[in-house]
Amino acid sequence: MEKRFNLQKTGEKRYSLDVRGSVCPYPQLLTVRALESLSSGDILEVILDNPPSVRDIPPALKEKGYEVSDVSSVDKGTWKIVVQALK
């Protein structure tokens, strides 16, 4: 099943990807897909509600060479991962 790819520009070189409601592996796949579509130095904020993804996505992105600058709770059951795109 194809999950939505809802990438939105939120500011100069800043983007947001909302993957709430998606379960593994979709949040990670959609995050990588979004990062690949951005320019070097762009910042992506990923909003998610899947605890295994919060645990697994940051190390997977770091392994691919992306810089994860923040992983934080937005509210109960929702998190934000902030990562910089590279080319």
pLDDT exceeding 70 applies to what percent of the chain?
Answer: 93
- Assign residue 76 a region: left if phi > 0, alpha if psi is -120 to 50, beta otherwise? beta
SS3 60: helix
Domain range annotation of the chain: 7-84
pLDDT digits (tens, 9 = 90+) for 35-77: 999 999 999 999 999 999 999 999 999 999 999 999 999 999 9
What does each C-alpha distance from 27 to 11, 12, 37, 47 come to in angstroms?
Answer: 22, 24, 16, 9
CATH homologous superfamily of 7-84: TusA-like domain (3.30.110.40)
Picking from 13, 23, 20, the residue whose alpha carbon sits closest to that of residue 46 is 20
pTM score of the predicted model: 0.90
* Whether residue 1 has pLDDT greater than 60: no
Which residue numbers are catalytic?
A: 24
> Read out DSSP for 12-51?
TTEEEEE-TT--TTHHHHHHHHHHHHSPTT-EEEEEE--H
pLDDT at 86: 84
Average pLDDT over residues 23-32: 94
pLDDT reported for residue 6: 83
